[in-house]
Each structure stands twice: as structure tokens, then as C-alpha cells.
Chains A and B, each alone.
Chain A
Amino acid sequence: MGDTKYPVWVIAEQILGEIPPVSLEITGQARILAERLGVEVEAILLGNGIEDQVDLLFSAGADVVHLGSAPEFTNYQCEIFTESIVARARDRNPQIILIGSTFMGRELAPLIAAKLGTGLTAHCIDLVLDDNGVLEQQIPAYGGLMSIVCPEKRPQIATVARGVFPMPNLDEDRSGSVLPVEPPQGIKIRVQTLEVVHTEPEGVPLETAPIVVAGGAGAGSLEGWLEIQELADTLKAAFGSTRPAVDEGWTDLETMIGQSGKMVNPDLYIGVGLSGEQQHMVGITGAKVMIAINNDPKAPVFEQVDYGIVEDCRIFIPALVERIMKLKSHAGRTAHVV
């Protein structure tokens, strides 16, 4: 089956010297693909003073780590990173490259693909091998599941969001070889990151929250939106959104759940005023219990959740918040008496 020579690659990332979960998740998936193909997993990691992170990549499934550790690699620099990765890829001829759908990955992936003259699939929700060892890159489309392949060109490149693949069991006994990557010499530098500013994310983080309340276009206005946000606050839940809510400017892209947003795995998901479009729903398939509130009994979302409530959210949500508040203050009083 397939190509038994060329490795499966992972572009690993480091943020402030630490490897983010998505890099380990895709390394785990690369391991699964590589074992089926009978090839090795190679990761490339660029940063400065990050030698201590290499073992993590081995334990997640890498056999080889191409390590660039130099001041030039401290921050993501578009041209330096692209050049280093493309040069090493030309050397090793990976048949597959997996890249996290992070902000860096989303810029790097198309640069690498275009330089290598190959195809690329964005925001995949699954990656499987067909009988010929060709990578089927699956994305939601037209209310179904679409498989995209890159039949002739190599490598086959895909970006994957955090949470699409599970965190692999980290095997601390695994090790591998490290191949150094030197910063490229003599390339034109026309883009330079002068400064990177990290802000503390507000509220409960979506990716790990036990409860997620998501709002959609049905909120109707910023006012309606804030009511849904209040429900989230009342439940100490993380707050999610659909794309129209982001487009309306009610919330940031960072809160968007779905194929091109974030993947969440809560115990409880409450979707308010959203239609249940698949590109949103693929972000929540892992939820244990799902409840939807929508004023249209025919909304597709009612086919995809466990409980449905047909109500106008502008009436239902404020009333619900009031009930929860009452319940809480009541519970508070009882506790006080005891």
C-alpha cells in the first residue's frame, strides 16, 4: 500500500517556548498514518532555546525531530520559517505534511504548499488513508462530508484545528534522532515581526470548558447577543459563536466554533439562535449533552441535538437567566442557614 519510503511530517509550533496541544495531537495522528504506511514520523520545530521540548514530540510519536534552535527563530518570521521548512522538505520529500490551524499555521501552510507547487486542504475534520495509501482529507460541505485528495503532487498538505484529533498517550520511553536546522543564509527579508503581544484570554477557555453556550444569528442584535452571553456567565460556561455573529461584530473570531473555528468537547452544549449548519456543528460532535433553542421548529439544528426547545430566544433566554439566578440565590440562602 502507498508509498513506503517517504515520511509523514508535522510542522510543530512553539508559543513562548512551549509546544501547544495541537502540535502533539497532529503528531499522534501522523503516527497512526505513518504506521499504516510503514514510514517514519518527522517533526520540524523552530524556536530559540527549545531543546527541552523535543522529547515531548518523541513521546507523542515522532521518530525524527528537525530542530532549529537559534535567535533567528525566536518569533515566527514568515520568510525565515518558510525558507527553512521548504528547504528541509525538499531534502526529505515527505509524502504528507500536517500543520495545526493556528494563526502561524494558517499563514505558513499556503506558503509552503505554493513553494512546493502542491495541494493543500484547509481545516480538515478527519484524515484517513484510502486503499492506495492516498490521504483522504475530509471537510464538511453541502450538508455532507467531502473528501479531498491530492492524487499526483506530493507532499499532501492539510491543516487541522486543535481538538480534531485526540491528545495521544505520551510515551516517555520513546525517543528518536534530532537533526539540526540552521537559519537560512542570504535570503531577502522583507517582512519582519517587530513585536509579539500576547493578551490574557478573557473568560472561560472554550477548548477545555465543561459547559459551552453558543449563540448565532438568531440573537438578532447586540442586545440579544448580550443576553446569550449573560446566560453563559450565569452558568460559568465558555462562550461560543457562529460565523454570522462574528461577521456582525458581536464577538471576536476567537469565539467561533466549527470547521474554521474551534473544536470543543464539553459535557453540555447549549446552542441559541443558530440553525445547525454543519460547518458549525462539526466543532461540537464530542459534546455529551446538547440542547438547542430556536424559534423555527424546522431548523436543522433540531436533528442534531439531544433536546430541542422551540422558543424565541429574546424571551426564553432572559427568563431562563432569571430562573437560574433565583435558584442560585435560593441555594445560597439554604447553605447559609445550614
Chain B
Amino acid sequence: MLSIVVCVKAVPEPKAAEDLKIDPVTKAIPRHDIPLEINPLDRNALEAALHFKEQAGASITVISMGPPPAGDIVKECLALGSDEGILLSDPAFAGADALATAYTLAKAIEKLGEVDLVLCGRASSDGATEWVGPELSVFLDFPVVTMVREFIQFNGSSWQVKADIENGYRLVQVELPAIFTVTQDLNSPRTLSFSGIIQSRKKEITTWGLKDLALPANTVGLAGSPTIVSKLEYVESKRECEIIEGSLDEKLDQMIGKLVEAGAV
């Protein structure tokens, strides 16, 4: 039976993310309690895991590193059908860049014992680096394929996948254990079902901190991150906008005028 780990990130809901803006006057970033959701592409990763479980049997462990409220995201993954949920949460983990995030996730995955498959989203919606999957592969010494859009052959220990490239795809053969990062073309993630919610009520999530992973504090969080933010500046727009007023017809006339001016028609 496959042992699958799905890495899931709790990200700000898109509407809430819009509020996270520098104040042009105070230069501060407003931070209130931001509602979190499952990173959209991680739903595709979880869906793939659930598919393998339904096809051939698998155990699915979801891991998320984040602040305590990210635990709700892990619980939601249990309700969607994963078997175990682990939240990596510790003040020492805060401020991690991609490298420190990947390192911490790797140590947690090692603690789980034998793992056949690690699935990540292609990118997170708030960080969007696309780094965590590949960096994880270095720390776990697993092979990695990024941007997987289709699992072609997924029996035994040698799998074949289709992965995106510019204007096309590549067909890749991989030895398990392996890491895949997945795109939204892979599948259509399921939504929560009532029975899923009921069944998962009995399940508990596990929280691991720095001590549980037995890691030195300088390898995680901000202290373990090679990159830091050095500056955050407000930028003024360089354009003056003229709002085109009038009735719909007048606006259309003016728009056509602009198109003609620009040589577009």
C-alpha cells in the first residue's frame, strides 16, 4: 500500500489577501486575523492522493507548517479523506523562507518513516515561489518532477508522468519514492461532503514543534532562512488616468477613437 504525504499550505483567502497592503501614509502592513484557506493547488495534490487511495489503497498523511489556525486547514483535509493530519507549528518556525520551510517539512516527513510519494502544489498562492517541492526533494534525497499534469503509469516502483514545459510537455519516468508538484490541469478537486465531516470528527490532528523534530533552533524559521526582507517601499503609479465619461454610446465612440489613435483599428 502506498504511503503518501501531501504538503498543504494554509494561505490567506483571496479577498483577505487584498487587504494586506502597505498603508501609503503609515507604511505599515495591516495585519488582522486573516481568514485562511487551503492553497488551491494543494487541493489538486490531495485529490491525486485520494484517487490513488481509491484505486489501489494508500495511506494519506497531510502535513502543513503554519500558525495554529492552520490546524483548521489540516482538519478540513481529514474531512476530505486523508488519514492523518500533522500541523508543524512553533513560534520558532515563523518567518521561514522556502529553504527553511522545505527543511522543516523534510524533517517531519523523515520522522513519519517510510514514504513512497510526496505531493505538493506547483505553487502557493501567497508565496508562489514554486520552490518548496524541489527543495524538499534535495533534503529527502528523492527525485522530483515539477508541474505534473497527468499520471500516465502509476503502478509499481517506476512511474510515468506528463509534465508541463513551454508550449508542450515532457514525458518523464521516475523511480519511487518521489516528489511531484502538480498543476490544476491534473484533476478537479472534490468538495467537502457531509459524511466526510462527520467521519473526521473523531480524528485528531497531531501538532509537532521544534522539540518533536529535535532540530536546532538556528535551522528553522527566520533564523534558518538565508533570505530576508531588507526593504519594503510604497510605489506611486507613474500614470495619470483619464476616466472616459458619458453614455454607453459616447464611451464606445471614445474607445474606438483611442483604438484608432493607437493604430489598432
- Partner-contacting stretch, out of B46-54, B76-84, B128-136, B194-202: B128-136
Q: Are B171 and A195 in contact (CB under 8 A)?
A: yes
Q: Are A308 and B243 in contact (CB under 8 A)?
A: yes
Q: Are A290 and B235 in contact (CB under 8 A)?
A: no
CB contact list, B120-151 vs A, under 8 A = 123, 125, 128-135, 137-139, 143-147
Q: Dominant SS at the B interface?
A: mixed
With A144-B22, A147-B229, A211-B262 known, 6 other A-B pairs at CB within 8 A are A122-B128, A193-B172, A253-B164, A254-B166, A291-B258, A319-B252
CB contact list, B225-242 vs A, under 8 A = 225-235, 237-242
- Partner-contacting stretch, out of A37-45, A58-66, A102-110: A102-110
Q: Are A306 and B138 in contact (CB under 8 A)?
A: no
Contacts of A335 in B (CB 8 A): none
Contacts of B166 in A (CB 8 A): 15, 102-103, 254
Q: Are A110 and B227 in contact (CB under 8 A)?
A: no
Complex Cα distance A311/B251, Å?
9
Complex Cα distance A292/B239, Å?
12
CB contact list, A85-132 vs B, under 8 A = 102-104, 106-107, 109-111, 113-115, 117-123, 130
Cβ of B208 under 8 Å from chain A: no
Cβ of B184 under 8 Å from chain A: yes
Q: Could you list 14 A-B pairs, sorted by A, with CB under 8 Å?
A: A104-B165, A107-B144, A111-B137, A113-B131, A114-B137, A117-B226, A130-B230, A136-B231, A193-B172, A196-B169, A198-B165, A253-B164, A303-B241, A328-B265
Q: Are A107 and B134 in contact (CB under 8 A)?
A: yes
Complex Cα distance A291/B242, Å?
9
Cβ of B263 under 8 Å from chain A: yes
Complex Cα distance A119/B21, Å?
25
Q: Are B242 and A121 in contact (CB under 8 A)?
A: no
How many residues of B sit at the interface, in one of the four size bands?
A: 35 or more
CB contact list, B158-194 vs A, under 8 A = 160, 164-175, 178, 183-184
**Beta-carbon nearest neighbor of A276 in chain B:** B237
Cβ of B215 under 8 Å from chain A: no
Cβ of A52 under 8 Å from chain B: no
Q: In the complex, which of the residues A106, A114, A315, A323 contacts B256, with contact meaning CB atoms closer than 8 Å?
A: A323
Asked, given contacts A150-B226, A193-B172, whether A307 binds B244 with beta carbons under 8 Å apart, the answer is yes
Q: Are A120 and B131 in contact (CB under 8 A)?
A: yes
Q: Are A146 and B265 in contact (CB under 8 A)?
A: no
Contacts of A148 in B (CB 8 A): 227-230
Complex Cα distance A109/B98, Å?
12
Cβ of B102 under 8 Å from chain A: yes
Q: Are B235 and A145 in contact (CB under 8 A)?
A: yes
Q: Are B20 and A142 in contact (CB under 8 A)?
A: yes
Query: Which among B131, B175, B229 has the greatest number of chain A C-beta atoms within 10 A?
Result: B131
Cβ of B259 under 8 Å from chain A: yes
Complex Cα distance A122/B131, Å?
8
Q: In the complex, which of the residues B22, B173, B244 contacts A194, with contact meaning CB atoms closer than 8 Å?
A: B173
A89 smallest CB distance to B (angstroms): 14
Cβ of A179 under 8 Å from chain B: no
CB contact list, A191-209 vs B, under 8 A = 191-201
Complex Cα distance A292/B164, Å?
32
**Beta-carbon nearest neighbor of B132 in chain A:** A110
Cβ of B40 under 8 Å from chain A: yes
Contacts of A249 in B (CB 8 A): 184
Q: Are B14 and A244 in contact (CB under 8 A)?
A: yes
B2 smallest CB distance to A (angstroms): 17
Q: In the complex, which of the residues A110, A150, A319 contacts B134, with contact meaning CB atoms closer than 8 Å?
A: A110
Cβ of B248 under 8 Å from chain A: yes
Q: Are B168 and A306 in contact (CB under 8 A)?
A: no
B159 smallest CB distance to A (angstroms): 10
A229 smallest CB distance to B (angstroms): 16
**Beta-carbon nearest neighbor of A106 in chain B:** B130
Cβ of A36 under 8 Å from chain B: no
Asked, given contacts A122-B128, A146-B229, A235-B259, whether A306 binds B242 with beta carbons under 8 Å apart, the answer is yes
Q: In the complex, which of the residues B18, B229, B265 contacts A324, with contact meaning CB atoms closer than 8 Å?
A: B265
Complex Cα distance A308/B254, Å?
11
Cβ of A247 under 8 Å from chain B: yes
Cβ of B264 under 8 Å from chain A: yes
Cβ of A268 under 8 Å from chain B: yes
Contacts of A311 in B (CB 8 A): 248, 251
Complex Cα distance A277/B90, Å?
32
Q: In the complex, which of the residues B139, B165, B184 contacts A103, with contact meaning CB atoms closer than 8 Å?
A: B165
Would you list the 8 A-B pairs with minimal beta carbon distance, nearest first? A119-B226, A119-B227, A114-B138, A190-B143, A110-B134, A110-B131, A143-B21, A122-B129
